[in-house]
Amino acid sequence: MQIYLPVAELSANWLLLLGLGGGVGLLSGLFGVGGGFLMTPLLIFIGVPPAIAVGSEAAQIVGASVSGALAHWRRNNVDFRMGFVLLAGGLFGSTIGVQVFALLRKAGQVELIIALAYVVILGAIGSLMLVESVRAMRRQRLTGSTRRGKLHQHTWLHGLPLKMRFPKSKLYISALLPFAVGAFVGLLAALMGVGGGFIMVPAMIYLLGMPTSVVVGTSLFQIVFVTANVTFLQAWQNQTVDMVLAVLLLVGGVVGAQFGARLGQKLRGEQLRGLMALLVLGVAIKLAVDLVVTPQDAFSLGGGRAH
């Protein structure tokens, strides 16, 4: 059952890796969002070095996103014009991200930064999701209706230069906006090994004002090429991509996502979202605790734990 991961330099149970891929794939199929945010921390928990977890997870996301992106393309749900601007930003952000990653690695700080980034982002997203699902459950009990979100509010963001027309999204906005969104997500992709749909999709809706029908397809289109860029650069510059690991996770992930998507059609979101929020928070807390506890373990040679 053990398989040697050549780049991570450790042997792991391949069934466990398939199962991890499947479980996270199921969740991402269910919620329509990225496995990366959960998978990278889980890999760290089972002992994969954080830098390798980040690089290999990016490789897995390339594979996992391709089929989704193609499906949305076929259904005409991709705004390519917007996608290319997001992608330009993403390539810029991720290329810088990989350089930063290399510098941090040289300084010996990359593991700390990865863990901190995850604690901050997972903590924030988990808390927001939890608040949201509690509120939604209460509201449903009271009225059964949802609030009206207001799109297309005019702010200073609409005064930025380089305005561009995006007919498919029915928008006329500064190209700097999607470029910046893409760049930020690209940076996260490089530093954290995530696709970033988790952040990009809400940003596309609230910040850019895109119609929801093209949001998921367009974000997947960007993710495929940005994570491909990250994989290539991480493998080339940092040697942190373990393809054996990535392929095992991918196989499990593809199967899991199929089940998740089908299950998602049958189940209602509220309770599930609450569970997902708790899971995300749980991972953030475990990472935070490990950050504090590990040094104590490192000094207790062979003996019992410090407390």
Residues 6+ apart with CB under 8 A from 42: 20, 24, 283
Q: How far apart are the first and last CA of the chain?
A: 34
Among 119, 208, 251, 276, binds another protein (CB under 8 A): 276
By C-alpha distance, which of 210, 266, 253 is closest to 27?
253
Question: Taking CB under 8 A as the rule, which mask of x and - marks residues 158-197 in contact with another protein?
Answer: ----------------------------------------
- Tell me how far apart the alpha carbons of residues 78 and 218 are, in angstroms, rounded to a whole number: 5
Among 3, 176, 205, 247, binds another protein (CB under 8 A): 205
Q: What angle do CA 181, 182, 184 make, to 5 degrees?
A: 65
The residue type of 100 is V
Question: Taking CB under 8 A as the rule, which mask of x and - marks residues 221-260 in contact with another protein?
Answer: ----------------------------------------
- DSSP single-letter state for residue 144: S
CB 43 within 8 A of CB 252: no
Nearer to another protein, 53 or 199 (CB): 199
By C-alpha distance, which of 280, 294, 223, 237 is closest to 57?
223
- Tell me how far apart the alpha carbons of residues 274 and 205 are, in angstroms, rounded to a whole number: 22
Residue 129 binds another protein, judged by CB under 8 A: yes
Residue 128 binds another protein, judged by CB under 8 A: yes
CB of 206 to another protein, least distance (A): 8
Residues numbered 7-66 forming contacts with another protein, rule: CB under 8 A: 31-33
- Tell me how far apart the alpha carbons of residues 30 and 14 are, in angstroms, rounded to a whole number: 24
Q: What number of chain residues touch another protein (CB under 8 A)?
A: 29
CB of 234 to another protein, least distance (A): 27
CB of 244 to another protein, least distance (A): 31
CB 192 within 8 A of CB 104: no
Residue 282 binds another protein, judged by CB under 8 A: no
Residue 278 binds another protein, judged by CB under 8 A: no
Residue 123 binds another protein, judged by CB under 8 A: no
- Tell me how far apart the alpha carbons of residues 283 and 275 are, in angstroms, rounded to a whole number: 12
Among 1, 108, 143, 146, binds another protein (CB under 8 A): 146
Residue 266 binds another protein, judged by CB under 8 A: yes
Q: Which positions touch another protein (CB under 8 A)?
A: 31-33, 125, 128-129, 132, 136, 146-149, 151, 198, 201-202, 205, 211-213, 215-216, 264-266, 269, 272-273, 276
